[in-house]
Structure 1
């Protein structure tokens, strides 16, 4: 299965690949492949799409620290 994802070019781990992450938009619509992150925790390489802009290697944040937004 690892061969199906693109190899991470941000680290030296030969087994590291980018895997896709999905999210939900402001209106609740599903957004597929919003981000791609390296499977190597030490690497931290990532590519994200936000409001049509592409962001590369933004810092990783711990989502458990965010305040919950009820809909």
Structure 2
């Protein structure tokens, strides 16, 4: 982590077919830090930009 103060919090997601993916990403709980680690298709990504999610619109099913 960049801040050396916070803790990494695990995040979950859903796969393409709706199956739960536990611990897909971890983020620092210090808001100003922004450190994150993500697993995507077996690759590990460190410290990618974090979007606010304001522009997110859910899919209609």
TM-score, normalised relative to structure 2 = 0.88
Question: Which 5+ residue runs of structure 1 have no aligned equivalent?
Answer: 1-8
Supply the distance in 1 between the matched residues of 2:34 and 2:15 (Cα, whole angstroms): 24
The size of the alignment, in residue pairs, is 61
Question: Which 5+ residue runs of structure 2 have no aligned equivalent?
Answer: none
Q: 2:32 aligns with which of 16, 24, 42?
A: 42
Q: Which structure is richer in relative contact order (CA contacts within 8 A, separation 6 or more)? A: 2
Q: 2:43 aligns with which of 26, 45, 53?
A: 53
The CA RMSD over aligned residues, in Å, is 1.2
Deviating above 4 A after TM superposition, structure 1's stretches of 4 or more consecutive aligned residues are none
Q: 2:12 aligns with which of 9, 16, 22?
A: 22
Q: Larger helix proportion, structure 1 or 2? A: 1
